[in-house]
């Protein structure tokens, strides 16, 4: 059975989201149809506003409304430490533990030869530029404990260490194959506390 075109397009749109297959997309489409008109309008406005009003911080690469972002503008934060993460979501996760008070840098991905992602495809150049600032004494690499995350961490360590900057890696309180986004605060806190020099 074919769905009317508006439903089919809605299902197709939901299927573009990560982890959403045909069944879930269909369920979401029918749920959307049953929503109140005001809720649908608010939902659409939120999507458009997020796309229009958010951009990446020119310093760290985090998602922000203002440039530079709130964290980069905060002079109370430890300006000598930069914690490198894969995605802006990782910053939100780490900030929830209220234990790290330094700066961040978002790579927007990891090295992945299989997917054709090399050093120029992720946010490494701006990190190296930031490290020319003599105030930065330590870089904490917090890529996920996946083969790609480990390869990226090793690559970054080899680039940064010759500059005389201390390079540490989150301790492996995070299980191999897991994402920072899904770790609880205690695990993250232990991982940050137990970081080791690379």
Question: Hey, which CATH number is domain 5-53, 2.20.28.10, 1.10.8.420, 1.10.3720.10, 1.10.10.10?
Answer: 1.10.8.420
Give the H/E segment covering residue 139.
Answer: strand 138-141
Are 5-53 and 71-197 in the same CATH fold? Answer: no
Q: Omega of the bond prior to 68 within 30 degrees of 0, cis?
A: yes
Domain boundaries, the chain: 5-53, 71-197
pLDDT 10s digits, 112-166: 989 999 999 999 999 999 999 889 999 999 999 888 998 999 999 999 999 999 9
CA-nearest of 117, 132, 119, 87 to 105 is 87
Contact 163, 139 (CB under 8 A): no
pTM of this prediction?
Answer: 0.80
Q: What three-state secondary structure class fits 79? A: strand
Alpha helices in the chain (DSSP H): 5-15, 22-34, 37-53, 70-73, 88-95, 125-130, 147-160, 185-193
* pLDDT given at position 39: 96
In our burial notation (b when 16+ CB lie closer than 10 A, e otherwise), range 25-41 reads bbebbeebeeeeeeeee
- Per DSSP, 31 falls in state H
- Output the CATH code of domain 71-197: 3.40.1360.10
Average pLDDT, the chain: 92
CA angle 57, 175, 98 (to 5 degrees): 45
Other Cβ atoms less than 10 A from the Cβ of 23: the count is 9
**Position with higher pLDDT, 91 vs 190:** 91
pLDDT for res 179: 80
pLDDT at 172 over 80: no
The residues pairing with 83 across neighbouring beta strands, listed in sequence order, are: 104, 140
């Amino acid at each position: 059975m074919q769905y009317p075109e508006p439903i089919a397009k809605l299902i197709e749109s939901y299927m573009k989201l990560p982890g959403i297959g045909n069944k879930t997309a269909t369920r979401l489409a029918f749920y959307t149809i049953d929503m109140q008109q005001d809720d649908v309008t608010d939902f659409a406005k939120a999507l458009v506003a997020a796309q229009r009003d958010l951009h990446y911080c020119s310093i760290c690469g985090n998602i922000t409304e203002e440039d530079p972002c709130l964290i980069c503008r905060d002079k109370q934060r430890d300006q000598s430490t930069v914690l490198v993460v894969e995605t802006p979501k990782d910053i939100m996760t780490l900030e929830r533990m209220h234990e790290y008070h330094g700066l961040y840098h978002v790579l927007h991905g990891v090295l992945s030869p299989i997917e054709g992602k090399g050093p120029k495809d992720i946010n490494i150049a701006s990190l190296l530029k930031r490290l020319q600032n003599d105030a930065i004494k330590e870089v904490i690499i917090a890529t996920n404990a996946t083969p790609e995350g480990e390869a990226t961490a090793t690559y970054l360590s080899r680039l940064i260490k010759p500059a005389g900057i201390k390079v540490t890696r989150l301790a492996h309180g995070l299980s191999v194959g897991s994402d920072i986004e899904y770790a609880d605060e205690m695990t993250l806190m232990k991982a940050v506390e137990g970081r080791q020099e690379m």
